Chain A
């Protein structure tokens, strides 16, 4: 059957055409195309790896940031607490100091009052003595001749006056 008998001419031309096509494409076609496709696949793979890495880094950075924020919060609370403590301390100290100061002032005042009083007493004694001496002078002037009992009485009064103070 003709259909199953290979025709030589056709086989010859097919061989020539196919061989020619092969050499042309093997030289200028396929290697370049395959290389480009491989390169691109590599590039894409690399790009994917890179972006994954970047994502991981980003995630890491985010975690770091969160950690830092948390740490800062803790520190902030610590500082606030510390500050509050310090404030209390200062107030406390100030109060104590004020109390002390006040006490000192009071003591000084007391001391001064005491001193003043003593001065007054001294003065008064001096004045009383003067008055007494004047009285005595007067008594002496009027009753130079008075008995001794009267003189003793004067002294007794004086002593009493002294004791009263």
Chain B
């Protein structure tokens, strides 16, 4: 009996999906001009993984929440307009969005010059990802300030509910991770590390929500992770002690390893850059791949429906949804893990740059 219920639920889903497909097929037979062109998996995939100038709304493929486009033309003057004006291939003020899915600039705004060539302008648009970043920042501020206000109001009373959860995370990240790693330097770098953790976590989780305030693949975008990694890189480099630089350029290894061929210094020097690079790639790849797998699983439904017919497409729904659900749960875990790993490694790298001479050289 217990096994019967999921089976019935699955059957109902399949039936509903099949009905929907039949209706769609009927619709396309009636209106052959609206018949969907073959599914472009690549375009779908990268369309969802990439950035966009508008924000999709659920159950609607044409309407988008317009966002401001801020671009500088080749003459040097700035243009600010709503993304509504350039959606659907329209050109506004000489700017348009490249619709060709195979183009290198697909989905980006380009300026159409007088000679017909398209160039990429300086683009500071508030895109979907940028908007999501602002929303995440506001959420983080709200969450942290709410905890702060609780303390101001309630004194030392332990916070309840959501604030208690935030405090638990702070406890876990700061008291159990940052402080043991950084020791006496911890209070100095705690604001950066905690901010980074909460920002990444919020962005990660927002990315898992498919509708409006979420759905943007922000931490799965290399520009975002690059900025975060650069912050850690800057803190590491500018706070490096003499001992840190000495260990890079004149490490304690047998002399023949560093002179005349500076093998070890070269490797150590490379390490300065590989560490933040690893931070950048790790977060980016993890988050992007999580999104990608879910999108591919969903795409399977349409792909199979196209290849083998409606019934197969309908059947695929069950499996795709089950696996998507599993992947999304896994991604929730990964959201925490990656935010934590970024913070942990940043703390580690920064504390490595703060080394004191650990043994007296003769």
A interface with B by C-beta (< 8 Å): 2-15, 17-18, 20-22, 24-26, 28-34, 36-37, 39-41, 43
Interface window among B12-20, B217-225, B337-345 = B217-225
Which residues of B have CB within 8 Å of A40?
A: 156, 158
Interface string of B92-133 (1 = CB under 8 A from A): 000000000000111110000000000000111111011001
CB of B192 within 8 A of CB of A26, answer yes
Residue B199 at the chain A interface, CB threshold 8 Å: yes
Which residues of B have CB within 8 Å of A21?
A: 137, 140-141, 195, 199
CB of A2 within 8 A of CB of B227, answer no
Having A3-B222, A10-B129, A10-B130, one finds 17 other A-B pairs with CB under 8 Å, namely: A7-B51, A8-B123, A9-B123, A9-B130, A13-B126, A13-B130, A17-B133, A18-B133, A18-B196, A21-B141, A25-B140, A29-B148, A30-B144, A30-B190, A34-B187, A37-B175, A39-B156
Which residues of B have CB within 8 Å of A12?
A: 124
Residue B167 at the chain A interface, CB threshold 8 Å: yes
Name B's interface SS.
helix
B138 to chain A, nearest CB (A): 9
Residue B288 at the chain A interface, CB threshold 8 Å: yes
CB of A3 within 8 A of CB of B50, answer yes
Which residues of B have CB within 8 Å of A25?
A: 140-141, 144, 191, 194-195
B345 to chain A, nearest CB (A): 17
CB of B195 within 8 A of CB of A26, answer yes
Which residues of B have CB within 8 Å of A17?
A: 130, 133-134, 137
4 A-B pairs with the lowest CB-CB distances in the bound complex, closest first: A26-B191, A6-B223, A11-B223, A10-B223
Which residues of A have CB within 8 Å of B107?
A: 2
CB of A13 within 8 A of CB of B170, answer no
CB of B148 within 8 A of CB of A28, answer yes
| B residues 196-239 in Cβ contact with A at 8 Å | 196, 199, 221-224, 226-228, 231
Which residues of B have CB within 8 Å of A41?
A: 175
CB of A14 within 8 A of CB of B192, answer no
Residue B49 at the chain A interface, CB threshold 8 Å: yes
- The chain A residue with its CB closest to the CB of B135 is A17
Residue B151 at the chain A interface, CB threshold 8 Å: yes
